[in-house]
């Protein structure tokens, strides 16, 4: 019965092809990921990076609704093939109107009815271009004024893990700072979603290290035998004039797609009722289509799904059978409850059965995170995922949608599966994950990567790691090869920032801390006034269990902020933005100052990610 429901096929006859673009009425800038929905449904499409879209209407489907966060909604009746140039009017949303996110609040959804509306486009068979820069009310009456009822959705049940901000440490008491790397990007795209929807993100959703690491800093590529290159830079801390900022960057080696090993991929897709929204299952299909289009003949894909039960709807299929794979994706529909635990077990069984000894074996789960583990406990599920990672089957986790996102669960599962976690809020983000960063998403070049910094007490009075609160490790964990840590994907980079308070002059003894039983002295090397500390890096090759250690000094070369690199200034801007959003007590800065600094460091920005960041900051100025 499950398979019959999943393999639904449209039998309707196409009535119209609607093509067009959506842009900002004021600036004419294209609007990416605007929602183009069929009236009275959650079916439709999203605009591309150039604002374009194409949508096919079937018999009985009479109109479309165009919406984008912070813009007035646009509706129109369609009676034939049509070309549209739609300009949406921005809403006046600024800092004063952005409200705090309340997870217990009801959300309201307008149901717009197309019947009884004057036909403005009845040019079937004669496509033309129409420019609509009118107020939407001139096309359709305001639904509230017309008495259209508001339908209430369930309580917002998004979940996030609370973290406590790190406080400054002194090198005398805690000379070592140890943490696992984090190359996840989910926090930034999730924060972007909240701000674009006019809401302040909950503090638990803000992981500053993920916001920083969302961006590419064009670090030099490695040239030696090790799979990554390391850079370090020290300059003024822009949010605290009494501090300096240490910037650590690690760049992984690139692997051309044609040189990567064969893929054994299992798509595990949530098709439960909670995925029945335009930014969930329909977006999942569009995202995975991008990945399928890049498959090679040596790759293989299986598709498992779960709702009330788990099922395998596509056995291992060669990458050159794209039509077969895409057909399986296209026929999926959402409905039923959420047997996520059974789905995960099935996905790993499938991956193990088709395991490629010299290939890349990976489960990719797409969900809003709302799943029941069934007969197993969550700890059993985590143990299963960890065990399979140890056997060479890794896990990538993709979060979708809003009002139901279980961010805390999804991040934890990706960590247990030696994988990565991304939140996909639009098609542009899907391209970032599955096109621009495909090899980094799929291929691991270093496992259990740990960073340890030993600070020189003769020069450093105190230090504070920015972010990484849920990635901290004990000093003893650094040398313990049994201790799990983060993975580095091909071409990925890792950035970490430390706030530093420096002594005005070097010292040889900790003032006021000597006693009969203890003398805290510094070594001759420490008092040489050349090194702020030592950076240690430990990692394992993908198929090895013994780690390798690298070490390098952090030289005392402090540049003025105006002479620092673009990478330094932009990473600092993103970090400061996260600190302000979290309400940090350590950031004495403003959104206007963030905007000013970041605008000096946009660089080439060919894909517009840094300009998009500036747009987010402007919303809060």
Whether residue 319 is contained in a domain is answered as yes
477 and 599, same domain (yes or no): yes
The arithmetic mean of pLDDT across residues 14-35, rounded, is 80
424 and 479, same domain (yes or no): no
Tokens of 392: 């060479």
Q: What angle do CA 467, 473, 478 make, to 5 degrees?
A: 125
Q: Which of 419, 442, 465 is the last residue of a domain?
A: 442
- What's the pLDDT tens digit per position in 580-618? 999 999 999 999 999 999 999 999 888 899 999 999 999
Q: Which of 89, 118, 152 is the last residue of a domain?
A: 152
333 and 412, same domain (yes or no): yes
- What's the pLDDT tens digit per position in 238-249? 999 999 999 999
Beta bridge partners of 176: 454
Tokens of 66: 């165009």
Whether residue 317 is contained in a domain is answered as yes
The arithmetic mean of pLDDT across residues 180-201, rounded, is 92
Residue by residue, DSSP assigns 200-245 as EPPGGG--HHHHHHTS---PPPP-SSSSEEEEEEEEE-TT-TT-EE
Q: For residue 39, what is the DSSP state?
A: T
- Rounded Cα distance between 424 and 85, Å, is 26
Whether residue 515 is contained in a domain is answered as no
- Rounded Cα distance between 531 and 538, Å, is 21
Whether residue 163 is contained in a domain is answered as no
CATH code at position 401: 3.40.50.410
- Rounded Cα distance between 434 and 424, Å, is 11
Whether residue 170 is contained in a domain is answered as no
pLDDT at 30: 79
Whether residue 294 is contained in a domain is answered as yes
- Say if residue 97's pLDDT is above 60: no
Which residue carries 């008495």 as its tokens? Answer: 147
CATH code at position 536: 2.60.40.1230
pLDDT at 215: 96
CATH code at position 45: 2.60.40.1120
525 and 563, same domain (yes or no): yes
pTM value? 0.76
Question: Do residues 208 and 470 make contact, with C-beta atoms less than 8 angstroms apart?
Answer: no
Whether residue 246 is contained in a domain is answered as yes
Q: Which of 98, 119, 152 is the last residue of a domain?
A: 152
pLDDT at 374: 60
CA distances from 447 to 217, 301, 496 (A): 22, 24, 18
Which residue carries 């590529």 as its tokens? Answer: 221
Residue by residue, DSSP assigns 149-207 as PEEEPPPP--B----PPP--B-TTT--EEEEE-----HHHHHHHHHHHTTEEPPGGG--
pLDDT at 86: 92
Choice among 221-225, 510-514, 593-597 with the minimum mean pLDDT: 510-514
Higher-pLDDT residue of 310 and 496 is 496
Q: Which of 330, 292, 254 is nearest to 430 (CA)?
A: 292
99 and 182, same domain (yes or no): no
Could you tell me the end-to-end alpha-carbon distance of the chain, in angstroms, rounded to an integer? 54
346 and 450, same domain (yes or no): no
Domain count, the chain: 3
The arithmetic mean of pLDDT across residues 212-240, rounded, is 94
Q: Which of 610, 529, 518 is nearest to 566 (CA)?
A: 610
Which residues of 515-603 form beta strands (DSSP E)? 531-540, 548-555, 558-559
- What's the pLDDT tens digit per position in 313-331? 999 999 999 999 999 999 9
Domain interval for residue 26: 13-152
pLDDT at 118: 27
Residue by residue, DSSP assigns 89-102 as PBP---GGGPEEP-
**What is the Cβ-side half-sphere exposure of residue 564, based on CA atoms within 13 angstroms?**
29
pLDDT at 364: 96
- Rounded Cα distance between 253 and 30, Å, is 34
Helix (H, G, I), strand (E, B) or coil at 531: strand
pLDDT at 9: 37
Residue 107 — very low, low, confident or very high, per pLDDT cuts 50/70/90?
very low
201 and 271, same domain (yes or no): no
26 and 125, same domain (yes or no): yes
- Say if residue 101's pLDDT is above 60: no
- Say if residue 548's pLDDT is above 50: yes
249 and 367, same domain (yes or no): no
Burial class of residue 439, CB neighbours in 10 A (0-12, 13-18, 19+): buried
430 and 454, same domain (yes or no): no
Higher-pLDDT residue of 243 and 73 is 243
Burial class of residue 325, CB neighbours in 10 A (0-12, 13-18, 19+): buried
- Rounded Cα distance between 42 and 45, Å, is 10
pLDDT at 109: 30
Q: Centre a 10 Å sphere on the Cβ of residue 403 and count the other Cβ atoms it contains.
A: 16
- Rounded Cα distance between 521 and 158, Å, is 51
Choice among 131-145, 153-167, 447-461 with the minimum mean pLDDT: 131-145
- What's the pLDDT tens digit per position in 262-293? 999 999 999 988 898 888 999 999 999 999 99
Residues 6+ apart with CB under 8 A from 292: 301, 319, 322, 325, 326, 329
- Say if residue 145's pLDDT is above 50: no
Q: Centre a 10 Å sphere on the Cβ of residue 94 and count the other Cβ atoms it contains.
A: 12
- What's the pLDDT tens digit per position in 366-403? 998 876 656 556 788 888 999 999 899 999 999 998 87
401 and 456, same domain (yes or no): no
Whether residue 159 is contained in a domain is answered as no
CA distances from 466 to 188, 259, 354, 392, 395 (A): 15, 36, 42, 32, 27
Helix (H, G, I), strand (E, B) or coil at 274: helix
250 and 263, same domain (yes or no): no
Query: Regarding beta strands 263-270 and 300-306, do their DSSP bridges make them parallel or antiparallel, or are they unpaired?
Result: parallel
- Say if residue 144's pLDDT is above 80: no
Q: What angle do CA 474, 477, 478 make, to 5 degrees?
A: 105
The arithmetic mean of pLDDT across residues 6-21, rounded, is 61
Residue 44 — very low, low, confident or very high, per pLDDT cuts 50/70/90?
confident
């Amino acid at each position: 019965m499950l398979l019959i429901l999943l393999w639904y096929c449209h039998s309707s006859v196409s009535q119209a092809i609607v093509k067009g673009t959506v842009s900002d009425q004021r600036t004419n800038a294209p609007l990416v990921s605007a929602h183009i929905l069929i009236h009275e449904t959650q079916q439709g499409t999203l605009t591309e990076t150039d604002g374009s879209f194409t949508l096919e209407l079937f018999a009985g489907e009479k109109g479309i609704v165009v919406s984008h966060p912070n813009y007035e909604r646009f509706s129109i009746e369609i009676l034939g093939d049509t070309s549209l140039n739609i300009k949406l009017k921005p809403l006046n949303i600024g800092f004063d109107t952005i409200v705090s996110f309340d997870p217990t609040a009801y959300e309201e959804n307008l149901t717009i009815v197309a019947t009884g509306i004057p036909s403005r486009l009845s040019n079937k068979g004669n496509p033309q271009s129409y420019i609509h820069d009118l107020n939407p009310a001139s096309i359709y009456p305001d639904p509230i004024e017309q008495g259209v009822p508001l339908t209430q959705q369930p309580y917002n049940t998004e979940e996030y893990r609370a973290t406590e901000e790190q406080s400054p440490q002194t090198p005398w008491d805690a000379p070592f700072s140890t943490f696992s790397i984090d190359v996840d990007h989910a926090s930034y795209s999730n924060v972007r979603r909240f701000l674009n929807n006019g809401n302040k993100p909950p503090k638990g959703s803000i992981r500053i290290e993920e916001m920083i690491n969302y961006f590419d800093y064009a670090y030099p590529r490695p040239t030696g035998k090790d799979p990554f290159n390391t850079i370090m830079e020290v300059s003024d801390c822009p949010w605290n004039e009494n501090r300096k900022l240490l910037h650590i960057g690690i760049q992984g080696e690139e692997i051309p797609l044609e040189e990567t090993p064969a893929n054994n991929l299992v798509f595990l897709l949530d098709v439960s009722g909670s995925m029945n929204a335009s930014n969930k299952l329909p977006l999942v299909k569009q995202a995975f289509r991008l990945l399928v289009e890049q498959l090679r003949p040596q790759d293989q894909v299986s598709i498992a799904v779960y709702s009330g039960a788990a099922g395998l709807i596509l056995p291992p299929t060669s990458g050159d059978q794209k039509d077969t794979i895409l057909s399986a994706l296209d026929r999926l529909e959402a409905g039923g409850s959420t047997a996520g635990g059974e789905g995960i077990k099935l996905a790993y069984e499938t991956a193990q059965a088709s395991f490629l000894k010299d290939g890349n074996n990976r489960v990719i789960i797409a969900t809003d995170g709302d799943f029941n583990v069934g007969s197993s406990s969550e700890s059993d599920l985590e143990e299963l995922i960890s065990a399979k990672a140890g056997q060479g089957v890794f896990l990538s986790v993709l979060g979708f949608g809003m009002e139901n996102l279980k961010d805390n669960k999804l991040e934890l599962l990706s960590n247990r599966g030696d994988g990565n976690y991304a939140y996909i809020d639009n098609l542009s983000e899907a391209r970032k994950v599955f096109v621009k960063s495909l090899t980094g998403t799929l291929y691991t070049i270093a496992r259990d990567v740990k960073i340890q910094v030993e600070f020189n007490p003769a020069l450093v009075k105190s230090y504070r790691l920015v972010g990484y609160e849920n990635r901290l490790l004990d000093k003893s964990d650094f040398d313990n090869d049994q201790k799990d840590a983060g993975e580095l994907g091909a071409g990925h980079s890792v950035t970490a920032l430390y706030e530093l308070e420096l002594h005005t002059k070097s010292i040889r003894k900790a003032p006021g801390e000597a006693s009969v039983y203890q003398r805290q002295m510094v070594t001759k090397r420490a008092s040489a006034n050349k090194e702020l500390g030592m950076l240690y890096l430990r990692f394992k090759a993908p198929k090895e269990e013994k780690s390798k250690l690298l070490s390098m000094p952090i030289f005392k070369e402090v540049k003025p902020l105006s002479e620092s690199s673009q990478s330094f200034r932009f990473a600092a801007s993103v970090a400061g933005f996260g600190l302000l959003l979290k309400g940090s007590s350590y950031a004495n800065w403003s959104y206007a100052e963030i905007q000013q600094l970041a605008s000096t460091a946009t660089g080439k920005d060919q894909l517009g990610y840094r300009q998009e960041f500036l747009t987010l900051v402007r919303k809060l100025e």
